[in-house]
A = this chain, B = another copy of it.
Amino acid sequence: MIRKTTIKDVAKEAGVSIGTVSYVINNSAPVSADTQKKIVSAIKKLGYHPSSIAQGMAKRRTNLIGLAVPQNHIGAFSDYMMLDLLRGIADVVTSRKFHLILDFQENEKNNCSYMEMYNSKTIDGMILMSPRRFDRNFEKLIDAQFPFVILNSSIQQPSCCCVDVDNVHCGYLATKHLFELGHRRIGFIAPDDLQYYFSFDRMEGYRRAYLEAGIAIDEDLVQVPPKGKMGAGAFAVNKLLGLAEPPTAIIAGSHCILESALTELKRREIGIGKDLGLIGIDNSPLCTWVKPQIDAVAIPVYEIGKEAAEMVIDQIEKGPSSPRRIILPGVLIKRESAVSV
């Protein structure tokens, strides 16, 4: 590795002190046009770039943001959304002159690797994706007034900054859409055994739509299949279709549910979009790869990433603020699977 040029080299080349060089780099003090010019051309000539870590040392600011990604985020963000989220975060992080450090949580143990980034003072702030419910590590961050925001975990933690999608509204949107198409008996398949808030919230939205419509819910219509990625949707579909009075439409409460429900529906050769309406919460490539294409409520993942990043960086730059919460609405995408009846 070749030795890199430092601020000293620039100072010598321009015949000034390193302090003055620093002033023009940071524009942090008035400098005469003349010396300014000398310094600028010295910088150019030597191809000088300040060392971010030396700057970090002196300014007590690394300009690094950590993103903690849970090992299996069965939650609202499936793999298919992860990249969009990253792009959302990266876009603002970059434009605000920060860098993003990715940290995948390794194991199921309580020891959270994201705390290591914090402890070692590597990062100025952190975005915490779907921390586990029993995870209380981040309380240390609160105590330390360390800038961070929690993503996608409608945690009842009023002292944290959060950004999330409005899951209740997502459930409501899907249900309302089906109502408007004339459906009255709508099946709802809840994801993840109701183990997460988002799951519960989506179901809640379903209930609100019914309430608003003034129709009593037949509880047989809401299915909470036992946990387990595989087959939960299929299981629930069979329950629903086995009812004395089966639903005319079904809401799949998550991408995973949709996947397995769809498989079963196709296996049974049910006429989706003809004999049965279908809509998913979570939009994924699956929805358009399949015939008929599936209506869905899309999670604004990119925007969630953006907002989260803005939020941490605001905290870093403007100092701690009172905890903010941003709740973004889901977006209904009409396609071919939610027949009118």
Residues of A within 8 A of B (CB): 1-2, 4, 49-54, 56-57, 62, 64, 79-80, 82-83, 86-87, 90-91, 94, 99-104, 106, 113, 117, 119-122, 143-146, 259, 262, 266, 285-286, 289-291, 320
Contact = CB atoms under 8 A, between A and B. Distances in A.
14 contacts: A1-B146, A1-B320, A2-B143, A49-B119, A52-B120, A52-B121, A54-B121, A57-B57, A80-B285, A87-B104, A94-B113, A99-B117, A100-B102, A285-B285
B120 A94 contact: no
B286 A266 contact: no
Contacts of A86: 102, 104
B1 A144 contact: yes
Contact of A266 (B64, B101, B291): B291
Given A1-B144, A100-B101, A83 B79 contact: yes
Give the oligomeric copy count.
2
Contact of A52 (B50, B79, B122, B285): B122
A51 B61 CA distance: 12
Given A83-B83, A266-B291, A289-B290, A51 B121 contact: yes
Closest 3 CB pairs of A and B: A49-B119, A52-B120, A51-B121
Contacts of A51: 120-121
Contacts of A262: 289
Contacts of A290: 289-290
Given A57-B53, A290-B289, A94 B106 contact: yes
A102 B82 contact: no
Interface centre among A79, A82, A102, A119 (most CB of B within 10 A): A102
A119 B47 CA distance: 9
Nearest to A316: B1
Contacts of A100: 101-103
Contacts of A106: 94
Contacts of A50: 120
Given A2-B143, A82-B83, 6 more contacts: A51-B120, A52-B121, A53-B53, A82-B82, A99-B117, A100-B102
B53 A121 contact: yes
B99 A101 contact: yes
Contacts of A143: 2
A91 B120 contact: no
Nearest to A52: B120
Contacts of A104: 86-87, 90-91, 94
A268 B238 CA distance: 31
A31 B266 CA distance: 70
Contacts of A145: 1-2
A340 to B, nearest CB: 24
A219 B119 CA distance: 62
Contacts of A90: 102-104
Contacts of A1: 144-146, 320
A49 B120 contact: yes
Contact of A57 (B54, B94, B146): B54
